[in-house]
Amino acid sequence: MLPLVALVGRPNVGKSTLFNALTRSRDALVHDQPGVTRDRHYGVCRPEGQRTFAVVDTGGIAGESEHLVEGLLGATARQARAAAAEADLVLFIVDGREGASALDDEILAWLRKTARPTMLVINKTDGIDTQAALNDFARYGFSEVVAISSAHRQGIDELIDEVIGRL
């Protein structure tokens, strides 16, 4: 089985954009393995000459303070959380433009309970002061942080290298 990397974060931070950047195709898994049930949340990242890994976009996770029923208790969220809890590596995605929010704090608290290896990924750092964004999230205490722009494909190769180094 391929190692599984889960993309976790509050809505709108760019999880799906990153998922597409990593897998290049929404239907990678379906495409490669005919007969596999279509599930747009799963894909495969095949970096050239490097280790292949599976990616899950846990789009269903929202915080307790927001969309309670659809968020933490809904069936989609349960599946998403189960995927994250079983992942070999979690990428905790945050929005470098908006900075740390209460919902980020809440998701991080939940992630710590899962005790899965977790990397902080600051997205949307195109056209902003990356250092300021790094400073804003410093209180989360991650030793290694990757700043990226999924939409502009900046930092994606570096992110892939970091991910493979952790798998």
Residue 76 touches Mg ion, criterion: CB under 5 A: no
Kindly tell me which residue out of 2, 3, 16, 47 binds Mg ion, with binding defined by CB under 5 A: 16
CB atoms within 10 A of CB 44: 18
Shortest distance in whole angstroms from residue 52 CB to ligand GDP = 23
Give φ, ψ of 147 to 5 degrees: -100, 130
Angle between helices 156-166 and 15-23 (to 10 degrees): 80
C-alpha–C-alpha distance, residues 58 and 6, integer Å: 7
Shortest distance in whole angstroms from residue 10 CB to ligand GDP = 7
Length of the chain: 167
Q: What is the DSSP letter of 140?
A: G
Kindly tell me which residue out of 9, 14, 43, 59 binds Mg ion, with binding defined by CB under 5 A: 59
Cβ-count burial of 38 within 10 angstroms (0-12 exposed, 13-18 middle, 19+ buried)? exposed
> Of 54-62, 63-71, 100-108, 154-162, which part binds Mg ion (CB under 5 A)?
54-62
Which residue, 44 or 121, has its beta carbon nearer to ligand GDP? 121
Binding site, by residue number, is 9-16, 57-61, 123-126
List interacting residues with ligand GDP (CB under 6 A): 9, 11-17, 59, 123-124, 126, 149-151
Binding site for GTP, by residue number, is 9-16, 57-61, 123-126
Shortest distance in whole angstroms from residue 47 CB to ligand GDP = 19
Q: Which residue is nearest to ligand GDP (CB)?
A: 14
DSSP strand pairing (53-57 vs 42-45): antiparallel
Residues interacting with Mg ion, by CB under 5 A?
A: 15-16, 59
